[in-house]
Amino acid sequence: MASEDIESRGAGAKTTVNNYSSSSSYALENSDTRWTSWLIPVFVVANVAMFIVVMYINNCPKHNFGFDGKCVARFLGRFSFQPLRENPLFGPSSSTLEKLGALQWTKVVHKHQGWRLITCIWLHAGVIHLLANMICLVFIGIRLEQQFGFVRIGIIYLLSGLGGSILSSLFIRNNISVGASGALFGLLGAMLSELLTNWTIYTNKAAALLTLLIIVAINLAVGILPHVDNFAHIGGFLTGLLLGFILLPRPQFGWVERQNLPVDVRAKSKYKPYQYVLWLLSLLLLVVGFTVGLVMLFRGESANDKCHWCHYLSCVPTSSWNCDSI
């Protein structure tokens, strides 16, 4: 698996994402919990179940011929892992992931398998990759779902994952990609835009904003390491950021309490003027971004031709490693 660039390419980034939960206490501390979180636990179960299916199909003892070493944890039978030289994350082979829906530019564009833009979100390269992502999802997603409900958080999660897949495909052609990192970064982006669009109702605003920005910066910085798909992170984050402005604005207190006002007192509008402006701009940017991205992707265009320096956003070559595979 050393030759493949899976978005577990981002396993290192996932461990840092666990810190996301620390910022949610700032952003949501003054809000009442109104929803029971069930969708995020379902997503976690679905990801774990999918990984079990992948390992069942992978069947290392049957398909590994010992060129890279013996299967790991052979007592698990057909669920044992590929040799560590091939996959150090304790997981399946690249060929199994590709067969089951990993993101691969050639198959999406030339074989018209656009469904891979979604299926790759539910695949993971190994136990380490899976655990890191699911821990992050629990810490970030459950709190957000309790605040805003399963519909809005589900939309943000899925569309952010799609946005991450599109941007990744536009820049990276030579490797496969799997993982929920784009969707997770989307939830983080939504947390940031929710804080900004509802700025006036929170205390400790500066601390909340600084915490979120530091977390974003750290995780994007990790993304410049080799074998980490930072384009999926960036695409998911930007999608979630815009969706947060669209789906997560909170109404003004005066509008919420309008039924208790005297008859001759005019109630405030539901949202502040700047919230309407952010909503409209975000919707336009989201529609334009997805449209342009999908058109470029299915026309076979490479975003690297439009932006000659953007590849440094995903990998910065040093004396210790190169980025030739990008």
CA torsion through residues 253, 255, 261, 262, sign = positive
pLDDT tens digits for the chain (326 residues)? 444 444 544 444 444 443 433 344 333 444 454 789 999 999 999 999 999 999 999 999 998 876 667 899 999 999 999 998 888 889 999 999 999 999 999 999 999 999 999 999 999 999 999 998 999 999 999 999 999 999 999 999 999 999 999 999 999 988 889 999 999 999 999 999 999 999 888 888 888 889 888 988 887 887 776 667 889 999 999 999 999 999 999 887 656 556 665 665 565 677 889 999 999 999 999 999 999 999 999 999 999 888 888 888 877 777 666 676 55
Could you give the CA distance from residue 232 to residue 10 in angstroms, rounded to a whole number? Answer: 10
Could you give the CA distance from residue 184 to residue 50 in angstroms, rounded to a whole number? Answer: 18
Task: Supply the pLDDT for residue 17.
Answer: 47
Q: What is the pLDDT of residues 289-308, one digit of tens each?
A: 999 999 999 999 999 888 88
State both tokens at 244.
Answer: 């947060």
- Catalytic residue positions? 181, 233
Q: What is the pLDDT of residues 180-223, one digit of tens each?
A: 999 999 999 999 999 999 988 888 888 888 988 898 888 788 77
Q: Which residue has the tokens 């599109």?
A: 166
Task: Tell me phi and psi for residue 72, to 5 degrees.
Answer: -95, 140
Q: How far apart are the first and last CA of the chain?
A: 15
Could you give the CA distance from residue 291 to residue 231 in angstroms, rounded to a whole number? Answer: 18
With CA atoms as reference, report the closest residue to 120 among 75, 158, 72, 77: 158
The whole-model pTM stands at 0.85
Task: Supply the pLDDT for residue 258.
Answer: 60
Neighbours of 201 (CB within 10 A): 13
Could you give the CA distance from residue 159 to residue 303 in angstroms, rounded to a whole number? Answer: 20
Task: Supply the pLDDT for residue 316.
Answer: 79
State both tokens at 78.
Answer: 């057909």
